[in-house]
Amino acid sequence: MDKYTQLVSRGLGKDIAKKLGLPQPVVLRRHEPGQPLVQGPVLIQGSTAGADELASTLLAWNLDIRRHAVPKEKLGAIILVLDELAHPDDLEKPVLAAAASLRDLAPNARVITVSRTAASASTPEIAAARQGVDGLLRSLAKELRAGATGNGILLADGADTTSPSTLGALRFFLSGRSAYVDGQLLAVTSGAGQLPDDPEKPLAGKVAVVTGAARGIGAAIARTLYRDGAALVLVDVPAAGDHLAAVANEVRGTALQLDISRADAGQRIIDHAVERHGRLDLVIHNAGITRDKLLANMDAGRWNSVTAVNIAAQLRINEVLLASEHFRSAPRIVSVASTSGIAGNRGQTNYAASKGGVMGMVRATAPLIGAHGGSINAVAPGFIETEMTARMPFVTREAARRLNSLQQGGQPEDVAEAIAFLASDAAGGISGEVLRVCGQQLVGA
């Protein structure tokens, strides 16, 4: 938590910020083992068969489910099921019904829409209605306050309101794991996937490789995957070996000092995982570098090193992974992209090109890994509080920090939570997608 957020979270600072109309970020609810999924009752709006099925499924999770709002009752979440929209006119009734409860949302509450992907619509009316949910959800998310977030689940053909990954995504969005995910629509692309036996240990029995694990977001990914039950192989360049060893000893993993841009990196990762841990299930491509420079001043060294590490290495490693018989049991890859690759960022043409490349790669690799029953996705972080962003100039940093719906930077753990979700079997029906972890960044995309 940054100092400003601390200052305006309570007491005099809170009053002054309110009177002056200053941003009022709140301390976000983040997941801790054993904590309840949602804080308060969950209102399910929508009258379709899908809504009914979802409601009865969620009852089995021991949630406090409401099908109708109870006046003055503080809600933990509103789930707006819109899975049978035939015309934009169909939006009004369920949406306004939900609107009546918005003032009753508790701090850090959740609003989640469940609708269908517009791309699979058979008529212009259906497509218009479905695409309308996009604009609705993104605008609503910007209206929510006090740490509450709004996110949407998009059902592709083959997925419905109770498919494993619909429920997996719902659980993720409801929980504190999605604290810094806001204003996002995540597609469930198939009925594949499997919910975990133990929701606290969704990665039990899995062997995961995390690249760039020595510090920052990579170290947070390692800790989160370990908490979720995975055995870990942690990779970083030999020069970062001391930090890597410290993280490995913390999460009881093995440290592999390896430059991922080496030609044999993929094979060495597989060999290490199989020889030392008996298998390989998950690969998290987190390693990345920045060599910022305005394009007019760019040189080949800066351009090439960023390309080599951020995208070329991932492509080469994935090729080896996909050809390996050791990467066949529900294999999952999650890559770290960046909002720079979506919205662009001044001084980061090389970095944004590489991160845009990651998203293109993920989309095109999805059918290839799908052939082995696996999935591949990307997470695109926005402003995350790391050693790297701590070195930004003060004004630039403050602007980047506040210009999002949650009015604060995200934590490395927030990125790690999204990755852990996408690496789990509960997300097996989600592939080729990019999930932003940016607190709904206001500038750009």
Partner 1 sequence: MSIQGQSAPGPKESSPSPSAGQNAAGQNAAGQNAAGQAAAAFPQLRKAVVVGGNRIPFARTGGAYTKSSNQDMLTAALDGLIARFGLQDERIGEVAAGAVLKHSRDFNLTREAVLGSALSAETPAYDLQQACATGLETVLGLANKIRLGQIDSAIAGGVDSASDAPIAVSEGLREVLLDLNRAKTLPQRLQALSRLRPKDLAPDAPNTGEPRTGLSMGEHQALTTAQWKITREAQDELACNSHRNLAAAYDAGFFDDLLTPYRGLRKDANLRPDTSLEKLATLKPVFGKNLGSEATMTAGNSTPLTDGASTVLLASEEWADAHDLPKLATVVDGEAAAVDFVHGKDGLLMAPAFAVPRLLARNGLTLEDIDFFEIHEAFAGTVLSTLAAWEDEEFGRTRLGLDGAFGIIDRSKLNVNGSSLAAGHPFAATGGRIVATLAKMLHARGQVDGRPARGLISICAAGGQGVVAILEAH
Residues taking part in catalysis: 351
For residue 208, the one-letter residue type is A
Complex with partner 1: residue 257 or 389, whichever CB lies closer: 257
Among 139, 249, 329, 396, binds partner 1 (CB under 8 A): 249
Is residue 263 at the binding interface for partner 1, with CB under 8 A as the rule? no
Where does this chain touch partner 1 (CB under 8 A) — which range of 35-43, 137-145, 273-281, 425-433? 273-281
Task: Determine which helix (DSSP H) or strand (DSSP E) holds 210, and give its type and residue range.
Answer: strand 207-211
- In the complex, what is the shortest distance from the CB of residue 423 to partner 1, in angstroms, rounded to a whole number? 20
Question: What does the alpha-carbon distance between residue 341 and residue 445 come to, in Å, rounded to a whole number?
Answer: 10
HEC letters along 158-176: CCCCCCHHHHHHHHHHHCH
- Widest distance between CA atoms in the chain: 63
Residues within window 284-343 making contact with partner 1, judged by CB under 8 A: none
Complex with partner 1: residue 244 or 369, whichever CB lies closer: 244
Q: Which residues pair with 375 in a beta bridge?
A: 332
Complex with partner 1: residue 237 or 379, whichever CB lies closer: 237
Where does this chain touch partner 1 (CB under 8 A) — which range of 8-16, 106-114, 272-280, 386-394? 272-280
**Cβ(306)–Cβ(338) under 8 Å?**
no
Question: What does the alpha-carbon distance between residue 363 and residue 431 come to, in Å, rounded to a whole number?
Answer: 8
Is residue 47 at the binding interface for partner 1, with CB under 8 A as the rule? no
Where does this chain touch partner 1 (CB under 8 A) — which range of 215-223, 251-259, 329-337, 403-411? 251-259
Is residue 387 at the binding interface for partner 1, with CB under 8 A as the rule? no
Complex with partner 1: residue 97 or 245, whichever CB lies closer: 245
Is residue 443 at the binding interface for partner 1, with CB under 8 A as the rule? no
Is residue 205 at the binding interface for partner 1, with CB under 8 A as the rule? no
Is residue 381 at the binding interface for partner 1, with CB under 8 A as the rule? no
- Those residues whose C-beta lies under 8 Å from the C-beta of residue 157, and which sit 6 or more positions away, are 117, 120
Among 98, 141, 181, 248, binds partner 1 (CB under 8 A): 248
Burial of residue 193, with CB atoms counted within 10 A of its CB: 0-12 exposed, 13-18 middle, 19 or more buried: buried
Is residue 16 at the binding interface for partner 1, with CB under 8 A as the rule? no
- Those residues whose C-beta lies under 8 Å from the C-beta of residue 156, and which sit 6 or more positions away, are 116, 117, 119, 120, 187, 188, 189, 190
Q: At what angle do helices 265-277 and 313-323 cross, to 10 degrees?
A: 50
**Count of positions on this chain that bind partner 1 (CB under 8 A):** 23
Is residue 278 at the binding interface for partner 1, with CB under 8 A as the rule? yes
**Cβ(269)–Cβ(235) under 8 Å?**
yes
Among 156, 245, 320, 403, binds partner 1 (CB under 8 A): 245
Among 48, 120, 257, 267, binds partner 1 (CB under 8 A): 257
Which chain residues interact with partner 1 by CB under 8 A? Answer: 238-242, 244-246, 248-249, 252-259, 262, 275-278
